[in-house]
């Protein structure tokens, strides 16, 4: 295998980053997976030949480590993002200042291509600090590196996702599944489709600009959870909490994190997430996306059963037991 080009993937062991690393490894790239805890990212090494994929130490908030991870790279992909503030990792320090570090240093080092993973909903006027930090990160990237490719996916699904897996796990033990913003629309996108675009962009096959990536299905939050329940063969009441109540709950959970000095991190529901759920998360009209790249996105129905089966009442034996019951009835 010819291994000539080198790419640095910041956050390359994360949900999206590992798929990008796997795709680029198959294309023969040498890959640096830049992460804070390289010893926890060793699982990426088998994505390629011996020595082809290497986890290295890097904190995106530290300019020196960002620079060291980038030396000699032909392309850079920044996948680093957070959903909650935790310790020194705040929205502004990671998603704005961190993205700015990567873009500025990539420009200084003359890196040929830069890919920034952002999110649909990035908006400098949003009431959500998460969305504002994403927008500020995009602006900083484009200021330092105008020819960057910025990808804005909707909510991402795949076997390691934190969305369908979270609610499916909840449905195993509760008679109801509580959600906030049941009428809010999403356009879930398959993680490997996002990785495919990122890999194309790293290879120079995507024109500079902003691309919004959404799957073929647009569903409300309520309908997505109902669809998930159908896949795992469980009947549960989907309770859509009013925003005022969800905001109150999120405030309490946030307070617990503050009072404990961050020892207990609020991964249940934050006030900022409630604010974010007020806005639809779908591809904007006229935005560039999969169609402009000649890609047909993957439908949820083709993927969800492949990894949600473990949440069924009888796991991998659910279909067999159902078939046996039908056979018994016919005798």
For residue 113, the 8-state DSSP code is E
Residue 257 CB-half CA count within 13 A: 18
In this structure, what token pair is assigned to residue 328? 């018994």
Contacts for 127 with CB less than 8 Å, ≥ 6 apart: 275, 278
- How many of the other CB atoms lie within 10 Å of CB of 288? 17
pLDDT digits (tens, 9 = 90+) for 153-205: 999 999 999 999 999 999 999 999 999 999 999 999 999 999 999 999 999 99
Q: Assess whether pLDDT exceeds 80 at residue 329.
A: no
Contacts for 281 with CB less than 8 Å, ≥ 6 apart: 120, 121, 154, 155, 184, 185, 186, 187
Look at residues 137, 221, 210 and name the one whose alpha carbon lies nearest to residue 179: 221
For residue 316, name the pLDDT band (cuts at 50, 70, 90). confident
Q: Where are the domains of the chain?
A: 6-158+186-216+280-297
Say if residues 267 and 84 touch (Cβ distance below 8 Å). yes
Q: Average pLDDT for residues 74-95, to the nearest whole number?
A: 96
Say if residues 149 and 201 touch (Cβ distance below 8 Å). yes
CA 225 to chain centroid, in Å, comes to 18
Say if residues 92 and 133 touch (Cβ distance below 8 Å). yes
Q: Assess whether pLDDT exceeds 50 at residue 1.
A: no
For residue 212, name the pLDDT band (cuts at 50, 70, 90). very high
pLDDT digits (tens, 9 = 90+) for 130-149: 999 999 999 999 999 999 99
Topology at the third CATH level for domain 6-158+186-216+280-297: Rossmann fold (3.40.50)
Strand partners, 77: 9, 115
């Amino acid at each position: 295998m010819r291994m000539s080009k080198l790419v640095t993937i910041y956050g390359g062991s994360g949900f999206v980053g590992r798929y990008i690393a796997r795709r680029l490894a198959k294309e023969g790239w040498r890959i640096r997976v830049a992460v804070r805890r390289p010893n926890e990212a060793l699982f990426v090494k088998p994505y390629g030949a011996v020595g082809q994929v290497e986890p290295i130490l890097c904190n995106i908030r530290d300019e020196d480590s960002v620079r060291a991870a980038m030396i000699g790279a032909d392309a850079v992909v920044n996948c680093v993002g957070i959903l909650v503030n935790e310790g020194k990792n705040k929205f502004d320090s990671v998603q704005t200042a961190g993205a700015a570090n990567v873009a500025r240093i990539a420009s200084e080092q003359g890196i040929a291509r830069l890919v920034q993973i952002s999110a649909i909903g990035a908006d400098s006027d949003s009431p959500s600090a998460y969305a504002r930090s994403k927008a500020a990160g995009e602006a900083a990237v484009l200021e330092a590196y105008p020819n960057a490719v910025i990808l804005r996916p909707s909510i991402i699904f795949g076997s390691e996702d934190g969305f369908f897996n979270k609610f499916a796990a909840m449905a195993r033990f509760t008679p109801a599944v509580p959600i906030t913003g049941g009428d809010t629309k999403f356009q879930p996108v398959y993680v490997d489709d996002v990785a495919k675009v990122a890999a194309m962009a790293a290879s120079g096959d995507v024109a500079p600009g902003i691309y919004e990536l959404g799957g073929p299905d647009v569903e409300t939050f309520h309908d997505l959870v109902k669809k998930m329940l159908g896949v795992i063969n469980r009947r549960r009441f989907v309770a859509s909490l009013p925003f005022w109540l969800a905001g109150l709950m999120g405030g309490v959970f946030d307070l617990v994190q503050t009072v404990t000095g961050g020892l207990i991190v609020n991964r249940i529901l934050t006030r900022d997430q409630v604010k974010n759920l007020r806005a639809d998360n779908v591809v904007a009209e006229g935005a560039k996306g999969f169609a402009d790249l000649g890609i047909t996105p993957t439908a949820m129905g083709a993927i969800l059963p492949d990894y949600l089966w473990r949440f069924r009442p009888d796991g991998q034996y659910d279909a067999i037991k159902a078939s046996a019951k039908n056979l018994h009835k016919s005798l």
